[in-house]
Amino acid sequence: MDINNSVALVTGANRGLGRAFAQSLLERGARKVYATARRPEAVDLSGVEVLPLDITDPASVRAAAEAAPDVSILVNNAGVSTGTDLVTGSLDAVRHELETNMFGHLDMIRGFAPVLARNGGGAIVNVLSAMSWFGGRGAGAYHLSKAAAWAMTNGVRLELAEQGTLVTAVHLGLADTDMAAGWPVDKISPSHLADAALDGVEAGAAEVLADQWSRDVKARLPLTPEDFHTAMDRAMAALMAA
């Protein structure tokens, strides 16, 4: 997948990782970058074409697909974290995370898959998380939504292979964004994450593990659940003590 002269659409492009993706796409020579957000007036990046988009609203998704018929790269970045536990937390909040982080991304894929097919196949980037593979207190809903999004990503990759669409899953630990502002630990910069993801797209990669944390977590998946959680507890303790 050649990003130079491509046409990309980035969700949640008004800040953080989405803004970094839009910037990196421009720097790599994308011919056009649609920068979308629920509040389009918040997009402050020059050189992009701004579109309003709420990925949890099917009508908004349809309107975006109609307004951007030339897209060849879709970056599903928009997401939410409510800090909700699964058993004692608000079920509405759990549903909100699933509606945004999984169903919202899936609706975007369903809406733009025909667009990508008409434009030669192209690529989809789904921004996931190392928390696709583990959870914790205060993050049960986020873990659930990202695990579901990971499974969804693996499923649509198989379904879209015939039309030549690359589907790249991007995993990371913490990025230096507003969502992670309360964590006093080392974080990957948004620009580093965007560059790693787009390097993966250009290399035709199905998966990008953008930092050491995500690589370490995935490497522990063959462990038993007991050993996995013990290893993760130790890793979290070491992370917070660093």
Catalytic residue numbers, as ranges: 142, 146
Find the DSSP H helices in 134-184.
140-160
State the sign of the Cα–Cα–Cα–Cα dihedral 166, 172, 175, 177: positive
Pull the structure tokens for residue 142: 């986020």
Whether the CB-CB separation of 174 and 193 falls below 8 Å is answered with no
Whether the CB-CB separation of 159 and 132 falls below 8 Å is answered with no
Label residue 240 exposed, middle or buried (CB < 10 Å: 0-12, 13-18, 19+): exposed
- Give the span between the Cα atoms of 76 and 101, in whole angstroms: 9
Whether the CB-CB separation of 125 and 176 falls below 8 Å is answered with no
- Give the span between the Cα atoms of 238 and 150, in whole angstroms: 27
